[in-house]
Amino acid sequence: MANRGVNKVILVGNLGADPEIRYSAAGTAIVSLRLATTDQIPSKEGGNWEDRTEWHNIVAFGKTAEACGNYLNKGSQVYIEGRLQTRQWEDAQGVKRYTTEIVARDIIFLNRSGDRPPQGQGNQNPARSVESAGYPSGPRMEELPPVPNSPDEEIPF
């Protein structure tokens, strides 16, 4: 049996800029996303916590890229699952450059369709997938049965 490693990244965060979409020579959609994730770490003084924001470069292809370009904007909250990849290129001066990015396999939009999050802030609405990206969609809130308001209402068991 071959000895294989694991290269898997899972992130939930907010976009720091609108998606940048472009197309390859073959016509494949490519989107670049800047994702911010924030952790809380102990402060240097002790006793308090402070936020630490990490920025991630994300790239996606095909229908997923097109859906990102159509439905996401700065501040959108997303769940991203993919793999870490480092690529190399030469700049205009001929110097080799490297960048590490996450190649997204799955992107789930956590804002409800039509919601426009405030600039730089995620929306706390329930998760909803994007059908056009090939992800299944759960029931919408308006399709769910009402929750009884009082203990006197009949509970259907």
pLDDT tens, position by position, 19-31: 999 999 999 999 9
CATH no. for residue 80?
2.40.50.140
In this prediction, residue 5 has a pLDDT band, given cuts at 50, 70 and 90, of: very high
Between 100 and 115, name the one with better pLDDT.
100
Structural domain includes residue 142: no
Range of the domain at 120: 9-41+48-133
Burial of 102 (0-12, 13-18, 19+ CB in 10 A): buried
Q: Is the pLDDT of residue 139 over 60?
A: no
Number of structural domains found in the chain: 1
What is the pTM (predicted TM-score) of this model?
0.67
**pLDDT for 56-75, tens place per residue?**
999 999 999 999 999 999 99
Give residue 106's pLDDT. 96
Top-confidence residue, 36 or 134: 36
